[in-house]
Structure 1
Amino acid sequence: MSLFQKILRRIEVTLLYFLGKARGVFAPGRFGIKRGYRHRKEEVFWDDTQHTDECQKEVYELARFYLDKYGYRQVLDIGCGSGYKLMQQFADYPTVGVEVGTTYAFLQQKYPDRIWVNAAQPDQIPRQTDLIICSDVIEHVVNPDELLQLINKIDFKLLFLSTPDRDLVRGWYSYGPAENKCHIREWNTKEFRRYVGAHFNIISHQITHIEDATQLLICKKK
């Protein structure tokens, strides 16, 4: 990047930052995110059926470590995508995967011997399990309160909840919307901890993959 480009970028960043601050006078903070942040209003479907473990692999590996450490058995994966990571790490244990329509149909066909739940039928989600994985899902939903309330109705021992860290993805000055058009919003680490901490007890908060900007909360019920 040339010196001229760096100067233009610095001017752009400064303008975006102050525009966000000004917007914050009228736009309240939502879901723990700072005032003035621009949230998208509609979900855009993300087709994960052709992906394997390119992202969030370490989240599933860490969940498997805790399962072995504490002798847990049951795993519930909310937003399991292609199911590849769930099967790679937990094929030897009882699992339930939750996904939306077309992905749900894909999972039923690819892994007919496993249990899958259509996200449109939340009453079919088990109300008891040992581990819950919800990896890079929360940024895709319009109302994350509903997702966390659904999880809170389940009797679980550990929750693994991950999402991209906005500051690593876009920079501290970003007021949205997210660059990824399938993301309704993105949290930085402080915001995410504050938001989720109002619902669950957080026992660990870490960046698990710097290149993917993955932040992971490991939580217990309050």
Structure 2
Amino acid sequence: MKMKLFLPDDYTVRRDNPLYGDVPGELVYQPDVYRLALYLAQRAGLRHVVDIGCGSAGKLLAFRGHCAVIGIDSEFGIDMARKTMPEGRWIVHDLEQPLPPLGDDVLRDAVVICSDVIEHLPQPAHLAGQLADLARRAPYVLVSTPDRDRARGWLDRGPPANPAHALEWNASEFVRFLREAGFGDVPFHGHTINTDHHRAKSTLIALAGIHVSPRPCPPCKLAAVMHGFNEVDILPEVLDHLAAQGVEVHYFDNWSTDGSWELAQERLHRGQIAHCARFPEAPTDQYEWHAQLSHTTSYAQTLDATWVMHHDADEIRTSPWPGVSLRDAVAFIDALGYNAIDFTVLDFRFVDGRAQITAHYERDLNHFEFGRRPGHFRQIKCWRNDAPAELADSGGHDVQLPGRKVYPVKFLLKHYPLRNEEQALRKIHHHRLPRFTTEQQKYQWHHQYDAYKTVERVTGWKYKDLLPWHAVHFNTEYLVERISGIGLD
């Protein structure tokens, strides 16, 4: 049965395109595809990278010293690859024929790349089906191709302007084609930059593989340990979200004066949180973040939870898969053998001139910026609770535990620290800055609000300085950034 290509009925496929030679030049094409592949390999501790259509192999030089390189391409491409990396394993092959056997010992320990290759084939279905088979055997498989709509315009019906291309898809067509080829729901798909110079989001990218395709797994108990101080306006929303995500909450109130403590006690009595207590034993005029973090890890050791998450009172956490709860996502990651989880930070902001938002923050605060402070790029705050963990020395950003193996795909941390003018002014000038002084001097922490020390009013952000939030758009347009942080540096 012939596989559908999902191209428009009036699309013209080029049947006589010449063999393309990936000769090195000034531009690096699909740079973040290869950066992502290396990131996945390093975090997962994989020993092989398999590049199908490797060309001259210049982008594989970054893997030197990290992975054994296997490249598959035409004789012309392999001749260049051998000169670029003599130590690689190079296989001459016609990509319209069945791929050479690689062996499960290689594939189970490999990231597979097929970057901007499939559009060169007048009959791409066979290669796509083989890539789908590899995605059922290898942890990670990356496939990329140009987006016809973004590269050529919505009315383009082929043949492609690039004479070496036989055909090009748009985003919807390509995902449907991959699904038809056997990739299933294609867990991650979106756009990435085309070259290191142009940086236009005109390249489609899909990530599949056995480590990114969630399946039902034996349940794990996931507990959130939360320290909070005067966050009563957002605390109900956070607690409701965690309950809906299947997360057991252990709340420690740092002597709030705004009703947070009373709210937490009420939730405890209603059975909506598992534990509620005050910490430290008496009120203090300092924030004592180091002590709170040390308490989090020591308390975690008393729990029967399989996994523990260090969680702030002004955060909404989600798994990287829409519709998959935190509890189910963690169970899947646990079954894969990873024992720690990283997060990508989005700081949501209130906008200057807009009516003040005082509730329903996740719904109504819909402009954000990626967290770009140094601590934001490492947010490893969820871990398997089978050995003592250390969290305090990193300021809560980077949990340390024996034999740590961080799941490469980052979860999402939606942060709502400053929610309207009144709340922001009160939090910065009354609840934070006066209480930060000791740890600022001792640890060089808590400098995020230094710019507000001399201001009497905290104004909102400008629309032009923020990104609009739309979940579907975010998941596809910022795919590489959200799952890895690549492109945010």
TM range (shorter): 0.7 to 0.9
Q: Which runs of 4+ in 1 moved over 6 A?
A: none
Question: Does the Cα contact within 8 Å between 2:149 and 2:156 map onto a contact in 1?
Answer: yes
In the alignment, structure 1 residue 111 sits paired with structure 2 residue 85: yes
Q: Does structure 1 residue 133 correspond to structure 2 residue 113? A: yes
Matched, 1:219 2:208: yes
Residue aligning to 1:146: 126
1:55 shift after superposition: 0.8
- Per-residue deviation at 1:46? 1.5
Please state whether the residue corresponding to 2:77 is helix, strand or coil: helix
Q: Which range is displaced more, 60-69 or 117-126?
A: 117-126
Indicate the larger mover: 133-142 or 193-202.
193-202
**2:53 is equivalent to residue 83 of structure 1:** no
**Deviations 1:139-196, CA, capped at 9 Å, x for gaps:** 0012111112333444212110000000001111111111101110000000001100
> Could you tell me how far 1:218 is from its partner in structure 2?
0.5
Q: Point out the structure with max Rg over C-alpha.
A: 2
Aligned AA (2:89): I
**DSSP 3-state at the match of 2:34:** helix
- Counterpart residue number, 1:23: none
Give the number of equivalent residue pairs: 194
Cα distance between partner residues in 2 of 1:82 and 1:92: 19
Distance change (3 Å), C-alpha of 1:53 and 1:127: farther
The answer to whether the 8 A contact 1:77-1:134 is kept is yes
Q: Report the aligned-residue RMSD.
A: 2.2
The separation in 1 between residues aligned to 2:176 and 2:67, in whole angstroms, is 33
Contact 1:53 1:85 in 2 (8 A): no
Aligned CA distance change for structure 1 residues 90 and 147 (closer, same or farther; 3 Å): farther
Shift, 1:123, TM fit:
5.6
Provide the TM-score with structure 2 as the length reference: 0.37
The runs of 5 or more residues in structure 1 that have no matched partner are 1-28
State the partner residue of 2:177.
Answer: 195
Q: Structure 2: 5+ residue runs without aligned partners?
A: 194-198, 214-489
Partner of 1:168: helix, strand, or coil?
helix
Which of 18, 30, 55 matches 1:56? 30
1-side partners of 2:86 and 2:44: how far apart?
29
Higher relative contact order (CA 8 A, sep 6+): 1
User: When the two structures are superposed, what TM-score results if normalisation uses the length of structure 1?
Assistant: 0.79
Supply the AA of the counterpart residue of 2:119: E
C-alpha distance in structure 2 between counterparts of 1:118 and 1:75, whole Å: 16
Distance 1:162 1:190, change over 3 A: same
Q: Which amino acid aligns with 2:118?
A: I
> Match for residue 208 of structure 1?
192
Question: Percent of pairs identical after alignment?
Answer: 29
How far apart are the structure 1 equivalents of 2:58 and 2:101? 20
